[in-house]
Every structure is written in C-alpha cells, then in structure tokens.
Structure 1
C-alpha cells in the first residue's frame, strides 16, 4: 500500500488529534506486513525524548508513568514509543541527549548485538531540523542537538540499505524504527508482527520514502496513543509527542 493511498486515513486522524497538531497515526501495509506509523511535523508537533523523571530521578519505565508526568505539567500525550536499545540500570546503551544535555555519551562499540551491527547511527533533533546520521559522521559533525538517541543498525543511509541485510534473512522479530523522510517529516514505525531487517528497511525506503532510517529496538517495541498502550516490557528512554 502506498503512502499516498494511506493519506485519507491520515487526514481523518489529523482531525481527531486537533488542528493545532500535524501528528498522523495509522496503519500502513506493505510486503505482507502491517505497521503502525506515526508521522511527526517538527514545525507543528512537540517531539521530545525522556529517560529520567525530573522529580524522582528514576527512569520512566512505562508509557503510563510518562503520561502521568505530562498531565501534571498540563500536557496531553498523543504518541509515544521506546527510544532504543538499553543496558542494565536501566540506561540507554548509546548517546542520549535531552534538552541539549548529554546524559549518556556516544557509544563506539564495534561488537555486541544489533546496536553494534555497523554502521549504526544517531537520530537527532536540533530546533526544527531532524536527521539520522552514521555514528562516526555524527561524532565529526557540529550538530548541537536538543534531543538525540543512538541505536543500530542503520536501516537506510542515503537511500542505500545496510550492507548486511539480506532478503532471505531468517531473523524475524517485531521491530521499531525512525526515519527522516523526503517530505522533511519524521516517521516512527512499529511492525505488527515479526519482520526481518531487509523488509523493514525496504518499508522505510520505498513505502515511507525515508532515505535515512534507524532501527530502534526489537521484540519489546511498543507504542502508546491517547487511548492505546501496547507496552509489554519496561523501557529506558521514550520518545513522545504531546500538546
């Protein structure tokens, strides 16, 4: 199913979310798999990254905890998803930047699971701009992000799939990722069922039209909306859109 064919549903959801927000959330099917896709317009949507509750200094482990915190601040959670692979603590395994503050530094690991399946990368937001940048290119850059998360592997880089991905790949899992797309918008996608890396990357490149996309996490991947919560495991890092 093409993104263009999906747009009428998006328009209905946009109306439901309120005209002050451009956030679209819906289902997109491609290659025999259905994905939940959230499209974020940084010019109109409030996208932020969270790890530690500022009051307790403890990690937000659930979408519900973050929803409650935002409610106390007079805000409403519209969408949330886990931000990426994490380590014991729990703490993000790679770079984690909130409100311009680096809480976890860049991780240059070259071995150890999907995170270190090079090239990996960083999804960042700086003002009204967003990008997905390979880790070492990010390290050399002068980007000063407001929010950033590091994960791996890169799904798509400059329109090219990760060199290790194979159409015949036998690792099938629920997967989540984020892409910066040709229309300038950010798109988060979570598969509804098990999918391999190749198919997931092709979905970002060919269906969502994202020339740059980053894998976030596997089997525990989940999302929440104002009235939906699919979480089954705790997190260390949550992306949210709120109003």
Structure 2
C-alpha cells in the first residue's frame, strides 16, 4: 500500500519536507468507494474555525480568503453545535477554545471511547482518556467521536450489519506520527465498514471519526470541492509561503 510505503519515506523531518504534495486516491472496500488523502507530518497542516474578528469561517473558500494562501487539502474536522462551535476539545494556534469532554452522552460524540486528533510533535489520534493522561503538546487539536480504531482494534460497539448509513469521514494515524490518512466515503456506509477501512486497508494504529452526513472534502488536485452544510472546525493543508 502506498501510504505504508510513505511511512518509510517520511522517517525523518528532512524527508517530510521533501514530500509536501497531498495525494488523494479512490479505493474500493467492501463494495463501497472511498477517497483517501495522505498528509505527512512535514506539511503545513492546521485547524481553522474563526476569522480574525472571531466569526466562524464555515467553508473552504472562507479559509483561503482568511489565510491568503491556497489550500492543498481540506476536510471538516469534528462535530459542532448549531452555532458551529466545537462540541469537544478544540485547540488552535496553541490556544484552547473548548475543554476536553471525558463523559459519555448522546449521539456519536458520546459513544465512548472517543478521541482527539493532535497536530504537534507529529500527527496522532489519541483515545480521550489517554490524551488526558499523556497531556501531549498539540499546536492544534480537535476532539470527536467515536474512535474507529483503538490500538489496531475496532470500536467495541460497532456491528457488521449496522443499518445506519451516511457519507462519513475521519482520520487515521500511525505510531511514529509521521503520516496521517484522511478518508471520506463516496456513498453511505455504516460505522463498522468505515472502521474496517482504517484497520484493514490503511492499517492505521488509531483512527477517529469526524462526522457523517455533513462530511466534505476539498482536493484541488482531484478537481473536487464538496458543497453543502456550513461547517465548524476544518482541517487543512496550506500551500508553502
């Protein structure tokens, strides 16, 4: 698999600097189509929520206008309230907007265990309690849920023939933190099949669900810019200065 080969290529920071291109490809898994995008740790990956005046950006085009640099890749990155404020933990430019939520609750976010995607010393998905225990330094962090893969195992609540199907997206990471793989389904799928994509095809050590139904991808190299709902947190890779 190319993303596994990329792990070897990105064994050092210098190697990461040489591989800044965002690669997105379609794959088939259990009869459904998915788009996978590889992002190495050397890329200028950030989370985006608000503009300089504090207003929620809400779209890929608004991020580009606010940053004055093209996006190489972007995707919605965590659940949000009606006002588009993040449901769970959110850190941007090392500033915490929302605390960590460790309790269970309604909806997918509260289907424990959930987790945190951290952009800091590498790229990592942490189960939430591990995140609290380890206190990693994250320049950017977004909490969502449920976890899809936890140390190589599927979330224990997923069932193979689940009937709840949506367009879904999420991110998987590897133990060494050198690479992240973002995935979005191109047709409605259930949680179990989406999670097995990360476990069996991507071979991610840990993977986190971002959302369903509102899931969107921006990939100019693939001539793709999904439209739809106004978004809350967005993860994106900016072109170099």
Q: Give the alignment's TM-score, normalised by structure 1.
A: 0.87
Deviation at 1:182, TM superposition (A): 6.0
Deviation at 1:222, TM superposition (A): 0.3
Q: Aligned with 1:106: secondary structure? A: coil
Q: Aligned with 1:163: secondary structure? A: coil
**Mapped contact 1:174–1:190 kept (Cα < 8 A):** yes
Structure 1 residues 154-173: Cα deviation after superposition (integer angstroms, max 9, x where no partner): 00000000000010111111
Partner of 2:199: 205
- Distance of 2:70 and 2:130 partners within structure 1: 36
**Mapped contact 1:94–1:104 kept (Cα < 8 A):** yes
Partner of 2:118: 124
Structure 1 residues 183-206: Cα deviation after superposition (integer angstroms, max 9, x where no partner): 731011000011011000000011
**Mapped contact 2:19–2:40 kept (Cα < 8 A):** no
Structure 1 residues 68-122: Cα deviation after superposition (integer angstroms, max 9, x where no partner): 2222xxx211110001110122201001111111111112231110000000011
What stretches of structure 2 of length at least 5 have no aligned partner? 7-17
Deviation at 1:64, TM superposition (A): 1.2
What stretches of structure 1 of length at least 5 have no aligned partner? 8-18
Partner of 2:133: 140
- Distance of 1:159 and 1:113 partners within structure 2: 24
1:84 aligns with 2:78: yes
- Distance of 2:108 and 2:59 partners within structure 1: 23
Deviation at 1:3, TM superposition (A): 5.1
Aligned-residue CA RMSD (Å): 2.0
Pick the aligned partner of 1:164 from 157, 169, 172.
157
- Distance of 1:211 and 1:231 partners within structure 2: 31
CA spacing shift, 1:147–1:222, aligned 2, 3 Å: same
- Distance of 2:27 and 2:63 partners within structure 1: 27
Question: Which residues in structure 2 correspond to 1:43-54 (within 5 Å)?
Answer: 43=42, 45-54=43-52
Deviation at 1:40, TM superposition (A): 0.3
- Distance of 2:207 and 2:227 partners within structure 1: 23
- Distance of 1:174 and 1:109 partners within structure 2: 26
Structure 1 residues 107-149: Cα deviation after superposition (integer angstroms, max 9, x where no partner): 223111000000001110113x121111112112121101110
Q: Aligned with 1:201: secondary structure? A: helix
Partner of 1:66: 63
CA spacing shift, 1:69–1:134, aligned 2, 3 Å: same
**Mapped contact 1:181–1:208 kept (Cα < 8 A):** no
**Mapped contact 1:70–1:77 kept (Cα < 8 A):** no
**Mapped contact 1:115–1:153 kept (Cα < 8 A):** yes
Q: Give the alignment's TM-score, normalised by structure 2.
A: 0.88
Q: Aligned with 1:85: secondary structure? A: coil
- The runs of 4+ residues in structure 1 deviating greater than 6 Å are none
**Mapped contact 1:220–1:231 kept (Cα < 8 A):** no
